[in-house]
Amino acid sequence: MHRLYENSDISVFWDSDKCRHAKECVTGCPEAFNINRKPWIDLKEAPTAKVWQAVSKCPSGALTCVYDHGIEVKLDKDNQCSVAYDGDKRIGECDYRIQNGVYVIYHTEVDPSYGGKGIAKRLVYLVIEAAEREKARIIPTCSYAAKVLED
Ligand code: SF4
């Protein structure tokens, strides 16, 4: 299971397949990581620096994070894509189509001047998360999306 959690500063990626339940996150930042709550991660409940520190101590790589740099990402189900915005400017997207209930992720692109900020990963995670919530199979024909799923 892949989930993306965001606040106004950072995005946290969680890959449950890698989680070893060592609980460094829970002990390091119980305000944000609480296994007795749904959703168990809530970034609004803790200072960003404390969340970042807890994520960096995750021994399995299940948790990773990036700074948002003011870039917003949104899922646009009607147009079968996720989109990244810098203010009003559209600066990236991840496109998919649903074929016989399967999410085919076929294109991910971010304006190169915004490269290295984790925006593409945020975009792909939004689509993966949407598919997983619908218990749909995912076929990534986009090589970047395939890499995110494999990592
Ligand atoms: S620190 Fe990482 S491996 Fe441990 S419970 Fe948290 S997410 Fe899972």
Pocket of ligand 1 contains residue 20 by CB under 6 Å:
yes
DSSP string, 61-81: S-EEEEE-TTEEEEEETTTTE
Same domain assignment for residues 44 and 77: no
Pocket of ligand 1 contains residue 61 by CB under 6 Å:
no
CATH code at position 110: 3.40.630.30
In a mutational test of the pocket of ligand 1, which residue from 3, 13, 63 has the highest number of ligand atoms less than 8 Å from its CB?
A: 63
Same domain assignment for residues 36 and 77: no
pLDDT in tens, 132-145: 999 999 999 999 99
Same domain assignment for residues 99 and 129: yes
Q: Containing domain of residue 54, as a range? A: 2-67
Same domain assignment for residues 56 and 122: no
CATH code at position 19: 3.30.70.20
Report d(CA 125, CA 82) in Å as an integer. 9
Instruction: Give the global pTM.
Output: 0.94
Give the chain's domain count.
2
Same domain assignment for residues 50 and 31: yes
pLDDT in tens, 89-126: 999 999 999 999 999 999 999 999 999 999 999 999 99
Residue that has been written with the tokens 């899922």 in this structure: 75
- Residue 136's pLDDT is 98
